[in-house]
């Protein structure tokens, strides 16, 4: 939990510096939102969603990812009517059924950013820059950026025809799911994780060879901007992402073991898919916080240690409890981390407990100390003690 808190703090700090505002969306949405937005031919919709009928006989789904809900909220609250772009981030729970991947639990947590209103490659640079800074601040070294372009609807049509011709030649060798997908959405076959399909896919036509002039120019400008920003990247034509809403730019941050830690890209058609009256370009990313924690552990990255207890206030005798706790409360208000005894332990047991929790200093308060108005503050590392006035303890810590 402490690691997760640090990750969330870094995420929020970066979003603040990028002027990205936080959004909270519901844990569940109407199922049709994900069917229309994420795509009915995706693994997420076909296999991984938790979907239920509520008491009103409505189909609802625990959100499997954050983007569709953010788009719904953007439209529902008419944020498009404000000056664009609209930049939103979320730290949210997400739910995926069936075979959880490494570092992803069936209920896990995602950090994501969505930028609405900009068709410029600078929008991609914005989120990739943020992610690059994020990885650097965490201290991750073995993570690399891979990018690709899957084009728009115009060039996708030509590409799908070429891909379908290729897949038809290998139809008998494909898995059952891919045989079904190749007729509905051939691009989804490229995302198949079955080893036999992956072997076939290696020789499939590449999306970047079928880009129209506009998409090609967009991808070239993105690469030039990445170079100008000194952001290392590699083009990987195998990246298509597992959700139907992506267009043009797709990218992944992948570790040395080939595990995707973060994925995202441009989804210029998603807003229109959810509300046909609106045609608004957008770009975003999402990653699982648990998977990032696993990568930190794998690379041996040590995050900042949890703050130590500044002072343990021991209590000697029931008559000292009120005065001792008044001191605890006063010191906490001054910003110190202070603990005391709630278990009626002996003084010896209290000191043992103070040592166990790593308290930097200890003090015992009893009737004698209260009468004299003085206490001995002990440094737990050196064993040295110093006598101070009761009301002056905070000044020496």
- Place 316 in a pLDDT band, splitting at 50, 70 and 90: very high
CATH architecture of structural domain 311-396: 3-Layer(aba) Sandwich (3.40)
* pLDDT over 60 at 309, yes or no: yes
Structure-block tokens of residue 386: 């110093």
pLDDT of residue 118: 97
Residue 249 phi, psi (nearest 5): -70, 130
Compute the distance between CA of residue 295 and CA of residue 82 in angstroms, rounded to an integer.
39
Which class is 2-151+229-299 in CATH?
alpha beta
Confidence of residue 193 (pLDDT cuts 50, 70, 90): confident
Instruction: Provide mean pLDDT across the span 100-104.
Output: 61
Residue pLDDT, tens place only, 350-365: 999 999 999 999 999 9
Q: pLDDT, tens digit, for every residue of 139-164?
A: 999 999 999 999 988 888 888 889 88
Cβ-Cβ contacts under 8 Å for 214 (sequence gap 6 or more): 152
pLDDT of 261: 92
pLDDT computed for residue 159 by the predictor: 87
Average pLDDT over residues 302-313: 93
* Global model pTM greater than 0.75: yes
pLDDT at 79 over 90: yes
Q: How far is CA 291 from CA 338, 357, 368, in A?
A: 33, 29, 54
pLDDT at 170: 87
Annotated domain spans of the chain:
2-151+229-299, 153-211, 311-396
- CA-closest candidate to residue 66, choices 10, 117, 27: 27
pLDDT given for residue 41 in this prediction: 56
Give the distance, in angstroms, between the CA of residue 225 and the centroid of all CA atoms in the same chain: 25
pLDDT, residue 289, reads: 94
Mean model confidence pLDDT for the chain: 91
Helix (H, G, I), strand (E, B) or coil at 50: strand
């Amino acid at each position: 939990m402490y690691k997760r808190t640090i990750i969330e703090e870094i995420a929020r700090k970066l979003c603040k510096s990028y002027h990205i505002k936080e959004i909270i969306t519901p844990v569940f949405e109407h199922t049709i939102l994900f069917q229309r937005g994420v795509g009915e031919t995706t693994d997420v919709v076909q296999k991984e969603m938790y979907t239920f009928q509520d008491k009103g006989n409505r189909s609802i789904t625990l959100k499997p990812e954050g983007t569709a809900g953010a788009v719904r909220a953007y439209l529902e609250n008419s944020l498009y009517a404000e000056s664009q772009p609209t930049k939103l981030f979320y730290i949210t729970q997400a739910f995926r059924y069936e075979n959880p991947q490494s570092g992803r639990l069936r209920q896990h947590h995602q950090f994501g950013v969505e930028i609405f209103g900009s068709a410029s490659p600078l929008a991609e640079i914005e989120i990739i820059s943020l992610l690059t800074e994020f990885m650097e601040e965490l201290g991750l070294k073995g993570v690399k950026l891979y990018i690709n372009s899957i084009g728009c609807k115009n060039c996708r049509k030509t590409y799908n025809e070429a891909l379908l011709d290729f897949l038809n030649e290998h139809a008998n060798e494909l898995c059952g799911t891919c045989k079904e997908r190749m007729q509905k959405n051939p691009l989804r076959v490229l995302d198949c994780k079955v080893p036999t399909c992956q072997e076939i896919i290696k020789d499939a036509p590449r999306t970047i060879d079928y880009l129209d002039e506009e998409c090609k120019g967009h991808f070239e400008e993105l690469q030039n901007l990445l170079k100008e920003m000194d952001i290392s990247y590699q083009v990987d034509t195998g990246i298509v992402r597992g959700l139907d809403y992506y267009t043009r730019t797709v990218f992944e941050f992948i570790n040395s073991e080939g595990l995707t830690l973060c994925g995202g890209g441009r989804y210029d058609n998603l807003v229109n898919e959810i509300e046909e009256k609106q045609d608004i370009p957008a770009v975003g990313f999402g990653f699982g916080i648990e998977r990032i924690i696993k990568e930190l552990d794998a690379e041996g990255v040590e995050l900042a240690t949890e703050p130590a207890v500044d002072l343990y206030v021991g209590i000697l005798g029931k008559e000292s409890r009120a005065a001792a706790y008044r001191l605890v409360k006063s010191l906490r208000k001054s910003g110190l981390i202070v603990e005391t005894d709630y278990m009626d332990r002996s003084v010896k047991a209290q000191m043992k407990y103070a040592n166990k929790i790593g308290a930097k200093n200890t003090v015992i308060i009893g009737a004698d100390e209260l009468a004299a108005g003085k206490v001995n503050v002990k440094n737990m590392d050196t064993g040295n003690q110093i006598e101070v006035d009761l009301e002056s303890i905070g000044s020496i810590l």
